[in-house]
């Protein structure tokens, strides 16, 4: 089985409930600014990690924002890096294996855990979590470092959810980013993945 596979974006299945729509919109603008050949090269250089699941369905385990940005931007196909073939598994053992490998994150925009069947079956049904966008923008501004820790941005989103008022995030997102950067570098955050304390 080839590790890199080109596949229609509409056929990709998420493994989480939420994304940050502001972050998706920024990625969509960057994708749409590229000419078709450059866009294809970019997507090939940034393959989406995925697992082959029951029925041969592709479940993406990361880069949900890029996948949704491509979908919203009218891109037809993406490139997936196949991490594992679990296509012969039953649904229960499939999700158990996904959980064991930290390939699934069934928490909603309030940080509440749900059963796997609540995870949407397509990218366009993912729900907005504005704190997930906040976490992404703070990371990009150097507030903390990108890390291989699974779902690290969600850990940061939950940290900001407890420390930055939702009214500020909704009223002035960029002001919330500026406020969140020193929080990310302060003592309350020093145990979080990617903490840099700069």
Report pLDDT digits (tens) over 83-101.
999 999 999 999 999 999 9
Using DSSP's 3-state secondary structure scheme, residue 70 falls into: helix
Shared domain for 146 and 114, answered yes or no, is no
Whether the CB-CB separation of 66 and 81 falls below 8 Å is answered with no
Q: What is the pTM of this model?
A: 0.92
In a domain, 197, yes or no: no
In a domain, 17, yes or no: yes
Please choose, from the candidates 134, 139, 185, the residue with its C-alpha nearest in 3D space to the C-alpha of residue 161.
Answer: 134
| Of 79, 95, 128, the domain-final residue | 128
153 C-beta neighbours (distance < 10 Å), count: 26
pLDDT at position 1:
57
Report pLDDT digits (tens) over 35-62.
999 999 999 999 999 999 999 999 999 9
Residues 6+ apart with CB under 8 A from 164: 131, 134, 176, 179, 180, 183
Domain residues for 75? 4-128
Average pLDDT, the chain: 95
Beta strands in the chain (DSSP E): 4-8, 12-13, 18-19, 48-52, 58-60, 77-85, 127-128
Task: Provide the pairing of β-strand 48-52 with 58-60.
Answer: antiparallel
């Amino acid at each position: 089985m080839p590790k890199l596979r080109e596949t229609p974006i509409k056929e990709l299945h998420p493994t989480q409930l939420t994304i940050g729509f502001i972050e998706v919109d920024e990625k969509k603008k960057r994708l749409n600014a590229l000419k078709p050949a450059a866009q294809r090269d970019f997507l090939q250089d940034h393959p989406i990690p995925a697992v082959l699941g029951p029925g041969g369905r592709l479940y993406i385990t990361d880069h949900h924002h890029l996948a949704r940005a491509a979908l919203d931007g009218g891109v037809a196909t993406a490139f997936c890096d196949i991490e594992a073939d679990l296509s012969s598994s039953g649904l229960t053992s499939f999700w158990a294996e996904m959980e064991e490998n930290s390939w699934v994150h069934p928490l909603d925009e309030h940080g509440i855990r749900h059963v796997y069947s609540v995870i949407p079956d397509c990218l366009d049904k993912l729900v907005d979590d504005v704190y997930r966008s906040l976490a992404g923008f703070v990371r990009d501004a150097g507030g903390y470092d990108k890390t291989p820790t699974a779902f690290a941005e969600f850990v940061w989103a939950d940290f900001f959810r407890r420390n930055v008022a939702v009214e500020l995030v909704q009223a002035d997102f960029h002001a919330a980013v500026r406020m969140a950067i020193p929080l990310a570098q302060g003592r309350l955050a020093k145990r979080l993945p990617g903490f840099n304390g700069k």
